[in-house]
Amino acid sequence: MSCDFSNRNSPTYFISGTINGLLATGLVLQNNGGDDLRINYGANSFLFPTRTSLYNVTVKTQAKDFSCTVANGSGRALSDITNVTVSCQPKQAGYVIVSNVTSTNISVYSVNPNTGSLTEISGSPFTNALCAARGLAISPDSSYVYAACQGEDKIRVYSITKSSGMLVEIAGSPFNVPSGIPTRLSVDPTGKWLVLGTNNPSALIHMYAISANTGALTFLGSYATSAAQPYAVTFDATGKFVYAGIGLNGNVDGWTLNTTTGALSSVGSPAPGGSNAIDITTDPAGRYLFAANYSGPGRIFVYTINPTTGVLAQISGLGPGFSTINDSPDSIFVDPKSRFVYSGNQTPANLAGFTLDISTGTLTTMAGSTFSGYSGALAMDPSGTYLYSGTGGFVRAFTVNPTTGVPSLVGTFAAGTDQTSIVIASY
């Protein structure tokens, strides 16, 4: 019998390298199957804290909507290793999935990667007379889509067939909503947790665990909000915090997320806003939270996120919020590269565009804004090239000028009635 003692007394060295193109959170690297290293948005380098002689750098968890690969990732170290390269590219949009709440169905379109134009897939729309899907959310790997179903007050879960875009309801669906009318919902960047917002008269949000194998939901608990109608909910981009926009008064409540149990703990007093925070989102790095306040005067409120505590602070000098030029903004979206912010305004029907100063969170109205067409729902492909809006029985596709953010219409595609949410399956 012989034993290999070749590594027992070998010198050990640090393993490091460069990162290219990472504009998302969620990337986790490993060395030798362990020593997990979480990489921040925009990072251009990494260093494993544990010294080793043999090394094998791999991707444990991909960044949201990105595909990252490793080069020069393995070998025996004879000195500190600095030439490992991690290259990240945005995934390609495969399908645009749209909720049509009044016609109680969901439309699915394939995406032309060269133009952004849409083609409705065979079998679409997918109709369930019991499910008026007010909100949609998608798993980070685009395997499942979650629908907040008004009428029956349930959550329905569908698997997405990558080859065709077909939606197939999973075993056990629909899943119970313990109280309130379900509105919007959000999945965290790891795909482990889902949070659900509710409408009048509920002053509760609900937390669920997501099965990694099946996408099925397990109810974890309900959390009281500072006032009724916690209509809009979101995880921050880092997956550390949960926020709820309050319809009754426009404030935003916040919680820290226990990433082991899914339990929530309040970050403290709600952040004040305007009136009726009907949609909220964070930028891709999790530095700012944006709230669309529906009731007049229409405003977008911007908050800094304390990266340690999750506490929100309205940006100094914001005053009454950034005007959308017209009343009734009820959707908001930040582009994947944190360059631009878009808001859909109901009265009158138009789309407002802003450039974002990522160092301050300040919004500046784009040249030519507002743009034609009410947008009750907004989404962009992972590259930030195409913008999609749900409006008046149609989905509109736009190309986005990478310098100015100004959208140019590609085409208008028929949908059902009353679009309220759009998600994009990317591969």
* Domain end call among 90, 121, 148: 90
User: In which domain, by residue range, is 59 found?
Assistant: 15-90
Considering the domain boundaries, does residue 1 fall inside one? no
Say whether both 314 and 408 belong to one domain: yes
Say whether both 173 and 41 belong to one domain: no
Considering the domain boundaries, does residue 408 fall inside one? yes
Question: Residue 32's domain is classified under what CATH number?
Answer: 2.60.40
Say whether both 43 and 127 belong to one domain: no
Considering the domain boundaries, does residue 253 fall inside one? yes
Say whether both 21 and 56 belong to one domain: yes
Considering the domain boundaries, does residue 10 fall inside one? no
Say whether both 288 and 344 belong to one domain: yes
| pLDDT tens-digit readout, 257-303 | 999 999 999 999 999 887 788 899 999 999 999 998 877 667 888 99
* Domain end call among 90, 106, 127: 90
Give the strands of the sheet with 252-257, arranged side by side: 232-235, 241-245, 252-257, 264-266
Phi, psi for 257 (deg, rounded to 5): -105, 125
Task: Compare 368 and 385 and report the one with higher pLDDT.
Answer: 385
| pLDDT tens-digit readout, 174-186 | 999 999 999 999 9
pTM score of the predicted model: 0.92
- Candidates 241, 199, 195; CA nearest to 220 is 195
Give the count of domains, the chain: 2
Considering the domain boundaries, does residue 3 fall inside one? no
Say whether both 42 and 54 belong to one domain: yes
pLDDT at residue 297, as a whole number? 64
Report the distance separating Cα 337 and Cα 129, nearest Å. Answer: 38
Say whether both 315 and 258 belong to one domain: yes
The answer to whether the peptide bond before residue 113 is cis (omega within 30 degrees of 0) is no
Say whether both 82 and 162 belong to one domain: no
Considering the domain boundaries, does residue 137 fall inside one? yes
**Res 96 pLDDT > 90:** yes
* Domain end call among 90, 122, 155: 90
| pLDDT tens-digit readout, 385-418 | 999 999 889 999 999 999 999 999 999 999 999 9
- Cβ(375)–Cβ(331) below 8 Å: yes
Considering the domain boundaries, does residue 8 fall inside one? no
| CA 168 to chain centroid | 22
Task: Compare 347 and 228 and report the one with higher pLDDT.
Answer: 228
Three-class DSSP category at 264: strand
Considering the domain boundaries, does residue 66 fall inside one? yes
Say whether both 199 and 170 belong to one domain: yes
